[in-house]
Amino acid sequence: MRITALAGGVGGAKLAHGLAQLLPPEDLTVIVNTGDDFEHLGLYICPDLDTVCYTLAGLANPQTGWGRADETWNAMANLARLGGPDWFNLGDSDLATHIERTRRLKEGQTLSQVTRDFCAAWGVRHTVLPMSDQPVRTIVETEEGELPFQEYFVHRRCEPRVKGFRFEGAEVAEPAPGVREAVESADAIVICPSNPWVSIDPILATLTPALSLKGRGNIVAVSPIIGGQTVKGPAAKLFAELGIEPSALAVAKHYRNLLTGFVMDAVDAELLDGVRGLNMRVCVTNTLMRSLDDRMQLAGEVLRFIGETI
């Protein structure tokens, strides 16, 4: 069974990691959000892409879910000493990724070429693709005006109240090489438990209209909201500020008309009828991924759920 997964950062990376344990390399492609990418300290930084690659490579920090395991922080400590902008924390090992990627991009390589080479160097055998080689930038519309995503997310710690989002460049950005093939040849698309507004929507906006998923069939999403809360990140807060009660049902509604199946946590079993009412099949299971076993268990459930309908 060939699976193409759409993923943002930590939650998406964890499910992708679980899927990678169960599927051979040729049967899994992960298309990653690049709407969070930004230039900082002269470096081209791709937070979601790196989180997915580090996780698949077994290099990720198991505590934070992002960044590198066994990391040191001497560059940042010394940048702070010099009064430099230290609000976006970059570990020493991680810095190499940004430095070398920036160097290669300036040389004229594309982001997908760089990602492929880095995956090879890190021993990632499944395919990881940026959603596009052209820039798409998630802009957060807040009550204090528009903010670039990392400015909102990291520097301002998601404090400004959100009114909406736009994905600058999504209309003109082309899906990266391999994205069309991965979508068209997949037996199913898995939308990972990533933030719907700022991790998955930028991918969907970039694929549309050239590669719209609407009406495609066999699209399954895993809810990033469990018991009304997010495991990590601001998804629940975003729902609330946009006037929607944060819940697995709200996630299902967000993707309505797109999904054929929805995977949600057992703690949300009371929402089962509500989600079924959206005309999608539902799988209720444990979706919290605390260990590698959890990741594999959830990935197995997702694959079984998909298998039931193919």
Q: How many residues belong to the site for a second copy (CB under 8 A)?
A: 32
State in angstroms the smallest separation of the CB of 100 from a second copy.
Answer: 4
Q: Does 43 bind a second copy (CB under 8 A)?
A: yes
Structure tokens belonging to residue 292: 């590698």
- Per the CB < 8 A criterion, the answer to whether 2 and 25 are in contact is no
Q: Closest distance between a second copy and the C-beta of residue 108, in Å?
A: 14
Q: Which of residues 163-202 bind a second copy (CB under 8 A)?
A: none
From the list 92-100, 190-198, 258-266, 274-282, the region that binds a second copy by CB under 8 A is 92-100
Q: 281: which 2 tokens?
A: 């099949």
- CB 71 → a second copy: shortest distance, Å? 8
78 versus 309: smaller Cβ distance to a second copy = 78
Q: b vs e for 128-163, b when ≥16 Cβ sit within 10 Å of the residue's Cβ?
A: bbbbbbbbbbbbbebeeeebbbbbbbbeeebebebe
Q: Tell me: does residue 100 bind a second copy (CB under 8 A).
A: yes
For position 294 contacting a second copy by CB under 8 A, the verdict is: no
Q: Does 157 bind a second copy (CB under 8 A)?
A: no
Dihedral (C-alpha) 101, 103, 152, 11: value to the nearest 10 degrees? 0
Stretch that binds a second copy, among 6-14, 17-25, 85-93, 173-181 (CB under 8 A): 85-93
- Cβ closest to a second copy, residue 113 vs residue 218: 113
Tell me how far the alpha carbon of residue 275 is from its chain's centroid. Answer: 23
> Binding of a second copy at residue 89 (CB under 8 A)?
no
**Residue pointed to by tokens 């890190």:** 122
Closest by alpha carbon to 293, among 1, 21, 5, 9? Answer: 21
Look at residue 251 and give its three-state secondary structure. Answer: helix
Among 1, 77, 172, 266, binds a second copy (CB under 8 A): 77
Helices within 58-194 (DSSP H only): 74-81, 92-107, 111-122, 149-150, 179-185
Which residues here bind a second copy, judged by CB under 8 A?
41-43, 71-72, 74-79, 81-85, 91-97, 99-100, 102-103, 106, 117-118, 121-122
